[in-house]
Structure 1
């Protein structure tokens, strides 16, 4: 599981020193970027700071903000004064003749009764005159900080004579934090500015939020009252937090690059809160819903990203829309909106690029199997490890995969994807089956991949044929089957011994694979570039070919011809006949 903690120790220590200077700061960062957590760490570690946090945007009632701040800053004064007022009113009522319980005789002596009477009258007059609580608490603020200022002067005087006083003085570092100030309504912000005039230079004040969207920022009001704007540490910036996550995902999901995801997240300034949501859903999709090994990793991660941060785009994916960069040609095509250029480019390629359709990697990509990529989609693919086990132990299964690999399947794509890291036992079983199928004859990209992998694993600098002679003998390859293998899979015609070539048309006719024997005969008796100038005997042999062998012969010849561009136009007529399956009519023109 990804460790979501970020080490900001150095930045915490540095900012903690600033908070002891009794200045006003603005800690800049978007909502969810880690500002509050950063400050909480400072509060937890630095015991010399008395940090108070107020979230004005969370206050949903009509209570005075000035009162709320006073309660947070001076709770003992508030609750003690509240208790005194309530008790004074209760006692004054109980001491009257209306409620006569004998209390008046016991408290009328001395100044206590006078104090109670004054407090009660003060509350009554304040109620009658409709004095605002703001005025009352503003007055209390002034009184509190007047005494606090005198106390500080006194402590300055005494700290040189007493270490204990010096410690007490150092502990007086009050900090008031207005958290997420950009989310507060303009009226609430104006109320907060009232208290600022009293608190400024007496305690440290920190506003946090995104300075670009502060309501009063239009007139540079905030800049006038803020001594210094502080940016979040680099470790909390998008480029740093996503780089750490991308590195983890590449290792955990076994993928070489996630450059598109990183570029998209950074360019769209996705913060810590966004990253947390992304991590949670990645964990659910790849592990809880078992998609690991069943989807192309970056495509799935981008779709998770779209699901979280671009709801409209995700809805269009569900509707089967294809994304284009400009000029939609049908209602099934749309231009992505409200997203970065990098995300637009990725979506266009993911949903429309024709090269993605023929991609042989396992698992299938979005174009080939889009439904599995949707969030909370049910996995229908066979488990990758069970497929590998089946390939290793089941001869019939291997034959079915290799015989039908031209048509594409999850199992064939799995071999393409896993063959480099495949266990020797599994690979050798696959190779044995491939050698039996090739002699039929058969050619496919998957069979070529298996043969190339064997050569790579042996890494032998000796003759290519030396590696395969044992297989030829084991599976009873005929002369034409050997030549088919050598020409098709090895490209090592120069290593064929003279005795293995077909030297007469009579031996060509008797070959198991007639068309490859004819090719070998022509290849060794004339310049291949003049192959289209066959003599009558050679054309007659061609005339006996079925359409499959006829097409195979000319398609194989094209490998030689088309490598030499000056003969490309001369070959187009033959190629067209083959593609239109009208090869026999072409023969009649030459007989």
Structure 2
């Protein structure tokens, strides 16, 4: 399966022009901006403090890390993530450790070594170390060890030493301090950090990364915003070329190329969804990258068992419009396997109506099952799956080899019939499928399968064997050729069982009339399956009984009571001992006496069957 690759924006040109960008205005590219930015923050004399502004997840940190290849020429970049602090260490201690990690390691090693050596020099533990060290070293280690012990014992929390060290080192050792996600730092740590900035401000370049609007809009951060303005010399905006709108547009093209499909209408509808809903500046770069990664991972599991367009829409709701996805989960009825959006849908939200239409009204009768028919298979993290293309192909191949194998997959019949309805049958398989139908036509467990097999074979003949304007005659001729050794009565029986297409009826009506006349002329001529013949004589519609009365009276002579009841059942006006009430398009009851009276005249015994007496009250 082809995955959608992560899109990396080319910043090579922008890196050559970024210096002018930060002084003047942003360009459409960014890599040159990164290079110019690195030169700007390294200007001599008093170094400035910058605020690199951008929304959460917009790519600020990634952008800055890419520019490090220019910043690191004689300089080292150190990141201070104050929002990740989970202990009681002060901002000064963290800054010293972050800016000069080698010094932190040296001091810690020296302190621990001094304590250990001091203990080993005591009379209690005498390992001969005293004789191997000069008195100067002994005094040095003992003093250091004693200082550390007293410091820890008294639990001193002064930052004086760190302040002095930072004030000295930042004047002589080249470092660039980056304060990442400053808008996420707690108010206490933000205020404490200003002590640090008072010490090192101007000594080294400092770059804050964060969302300035969050600092200035929040009432809790008004004090922080006021103080920060005193230190920040220049605010730098994220280059426009890194906007989520451009990235979502690029990803939209990748999604369409990968999952657009070959059906022009479906592709057009899906493209409209991408243009109307997916392409937007509302999402962060991180959200877009995560969506694509999520999509690739999920379709590894679900590909072939879902309509990919609909699944992408559901995943879009899950990631970007979670309130709508939550409605689908909340409104899901497990007993009926259906779901819907809330009735309080905003009528003015055209995008929401469009999404609803794609999920519930489009992709009908398609394989794999669409969202509205089996929504649970589209829900994120649910492991209930539709029948996949691969699984359906396996069932189909086994069916051709051994029709009885189908019975073991009866629980998947509905989905497999949908698969057949959408499948183009190879010409080499047509005879095998016809034989399956003929050999199982009177087996009830194959009833629905045979209808599906007939449909897919007939559709394949219509599409492949000639021009579209002749498909009616071609498909009829195809089946007539396959059934040429059968009587008209047997053919009518097979055609009714497989639920033939409407354009077969006119030809079959003519055949039925000729067949009846032929059998009548032959005194001993038996009519095979007379109920089926009568069914096609009236075109499968009880409303045509009156106009076919002459021919029906002929066939009635060859029918018994059982045949008559079957005929009425095929016309769907009789079932299980009762005449059903028929209605016209206006909802008015249709009088069936014109249909039944001629029958009752010939079969008077059916009167009590068709009109059983009502029980006395």
Instruction: Find 1:489's aligned residue among 490, 496, 501.
Output: 501
CA drift of 1:57 comes to 1.2
Instruction: Find 2:237's aligned residue among 230, 247, 254.
Output: 230
CA drift of 1:64 comes to 2.1
Q: In structure 1, how many angstroms separate the alpha carbons of the residues matched to 2:407 and 2:476?
A: 20
Normalization by structure 1: what TM-score? 0.62
Question: Closer, same or farther in 2 for the Cα pair 1:33/1:387, shift >3 Å?
Answer: farther
Q: In structure 2, how many angstroms separate the alpha carbons of the residues matched to 1:399 and 1:42?
A: 65
Query: In the alignment, does 2:393 pair up with 1:385?
Result: yes
Contact 2:79–2:180 under 8 Å retained in 1: yes
1:182 aligns with 183
Write the mapping of 1:40-189 to structure 2, written as runs, cut at 5 A: 40-44=65-69, 47-48=72-73, 49-75=75-101, 133-144=158-169, 174-189=175-190
CA drift of 1:410 comes to 1.6
Contact 1:291–1:379 under 8 Å retained in 2: yes
1:295 aligns with 306
Instruction: Find 1:9's aligned residue among 8, 11, 14.
Output: 11
Contact 1:175–1:205 under 8 Å retained in 2: yes
Contact 2:305–2:387 under 8 Å retained in 1: yes
CA drift of 1:277 comes to 5.6
Question: Closer, same or farther in 2 for the Cα pair 1:574/1:102, shift >3 Å?
Answer: closer
Contact 1:7–1:235 under 8 Å retained in 2: yes
Q: In structure 2, how many angstroms separate the alpha carbons of the residues matched to 1:473 and 1:89?
A: 102
Q: What secondary structure does 1:9 align onto? A: coil
**Residue segments in structure 2 that go unaligned for 5+ positions in a row:** 13-29, 42-47, 119-129, 521-526, 574-582, 602-617
Q: In structure 2, how many angstroms separate the alpha carbons of the residues matched to 1:274 and 1:460?
A: 50
Q: In structure 2, how many angstroms separate the alpha carbons of the residues matched to 1:366 and 1:142?
A: 64
Q: In structure 1, how many angstroms separate the alpha carbons of the residues matched to 2:385 and 2:509?
A: 56
Q: In structure 1, how many angstroms separate the alpha carbons of the residues matched to 2:33 and 2:318?
A: 38
2:550 aligns with 537
Q: Deviations over 1:167-191 (max 9, x none)?
A: xxxxx6x422111212210111122
Equivalent residue pairs, number? 509
Contact 1:306–1:313 under 8 Å retained in 2: no
Contact 2:244–2:280 under 8 Å retained in 1: no
Contact 1:177–1:207 under 8 Å retained in 2: yes
Contact 1:362–1:414 under 8 Å retained in 2: yes
Instruction: Find 1:325's aligned residue among 332, 342, 348.
Output: 342
2:533 aligns with 513
Q: In structure 1, how many angstroms separate the alpha carbons of the residues matched to 2:163 and 2:284?
A: 38
1:425 aligns with 428
Where relative contact order (Cα < 8 A, 6+ residues apart) is larger, the structure is 1
Question: Closer, same or farther in 2 for the Cα pair 1:82/1:284, shift >3 Å?
Answer: closer
Write the mapping of 1:273-288 to structure 2, written as runs, cut at 5 A: 273-274=286-287, 285-287=298-300
CA drift of 1:456 comes to 1.4
CA drift of 1:65 comes to 0.9
Q: Deviations over 1:136-163 (max 9, x none)?
A: 5445544455568xxxxxxxxxxxxxxx
Question: Closer, same or farther in 2 for the Cα pair 1:210/1:264, shift >3 Å?
Answer: farther
Contact 1:27–1:206 under 8 Å retained in 2: yes
Q: Deviations over 1:219-251 (max 9, x none)?
A: 753566251232266457276258538835973
